[in-house]
Amino acid sequence: MPSPPNDDAPGPAGIVERLVRDDVDRKRFLKMAGAGAGASFGAFVLAACGSSKKAATTATSAAVPAATTSSSSAHAGDLAILNYALTLEYLETEFYEKVVASGFFSGKVGSLIKDFGRQEMTHVEVLKGAVGKLGGTPAAKPEGKFPVTSATQVAELAYTVENLGASAYLGQAPHIQSPEVLATALSIHTVEGRHAATLGTLVKKSVTPDGAFAKPADMSTVLAAIKPFLA
């Protein structure tokens, strides 16, 4: 007879948001992560989500039959990174939707902002597809809260957000195991960087704030940075 569902256990889709909101969960994750952030984060997701052993096995074996423990961990790690990226893209998409709705920008700049928003939405769809292809469940869309008070404030926030997104992808690149997932992440990373550079010209800030080499941001830095933008 199957066990009754545990209604109190958080679903896998909300783990990134839990990490952002809960300092205890975040510290636990960082302690587990160490040098092997990709695989360790995947294992942490399965544990912290309260998933049953059966559910965890199904999620990985569906996409990688007869996988070894090592390959299963790598697979779970890539799924976790994809959902982490997906959560960031959800927030960026919502941000641009609010910026467009504000009516602060028109003409060429307004068209550019709309283009950026559509591209972020495309990133969401691609990442959801990548998660599904690996047999995972896409992260749930979080509810954001972005201050949208003036054209100048919004443009500067967009510059910050896009640079953060670019550095977040770069920070996870060394931990991605699948060549396909890595190619997807880097193709998005470069667009985030181009968005940031374009916005830099708009707000009269450096298009290369880190100099000749972009700096990666680890998960703890990014999660702390996006926490104020979650409702």
pLDDT at 24: 56
**pLDDT, position 67:** 39
Query: Strand, helix or coil at 230?
Result: strand
Q: Which residues of 54-84 are buried (b: 16+ CB within 10 A; e: fewer)?
A: eebeebbeeeeeeeeeeebbbbbbbbbbbbb
Read off the pLDDT of residues 129-168 as tens digits, 9 standing for 90 and up.
999 999 999 999 999 999 999 999 999 999 999 999 999 9
User: For residue 123, which amino acid is it?
Assistant: H
pLDDT grade, residue 48 (50/70/90)?
Answer: very low
Residue 46 has pLDDT above 90, yes or no: no
CA dihedral 145, 149, 151, 152 (to 10 degrees): -90
pLDDT, tens digit (0-9, with 9 covering 90-100), for 214-231 = 999 999 999 999 999 998
The CATH number of 12-229 is which of 1.10.3720.10, 3.40.50.880, 1.10.150.120, 1.20.1260.10? 1.20.1260.10
Q: What's the pLDDT tens digit per position in 74-133?
A: 789 999 999 999 999 999 999 999 999 999 999 999 999 999 999 999 999 999 999 999
Band of residue 71 on the pLDDT scale cut at 50, 70, 90: low
Neighbouring CB atoms inside 10 A of 129's CB total: 13
User: Is it the case that residue 49 has pLDDT exceeding 60?
Assistant: no
Poorest-pLDDT segment among 30-34, 76-80, 209-213: 30-34
Per-residue pLDDT of 165-201, as tens digits, reads 999 999 999 999 999 999 999 999 999 999 999 999 9
Calpha distance 106→15 (Å, rounded): 38
Quote the pLDDT of residue 74: 76
Written as six digits, the tokens of 204 are 């009269």
Q: Which residue has the tokens 């902002």?
A: 113
pLDDT band at 22 (very low <50, low <70, confident <90, very high): low
Please name the residues in contact with 168: beta carbons below 8 A apart, sequence gap of 6 or more. 84, 85, 88, 217, 219, 222
Going from the C-alpha of 10 to that of each of 5, 41, 125, 127, 208, the distances in angstroms are: 11, 16, 24, 22, 40
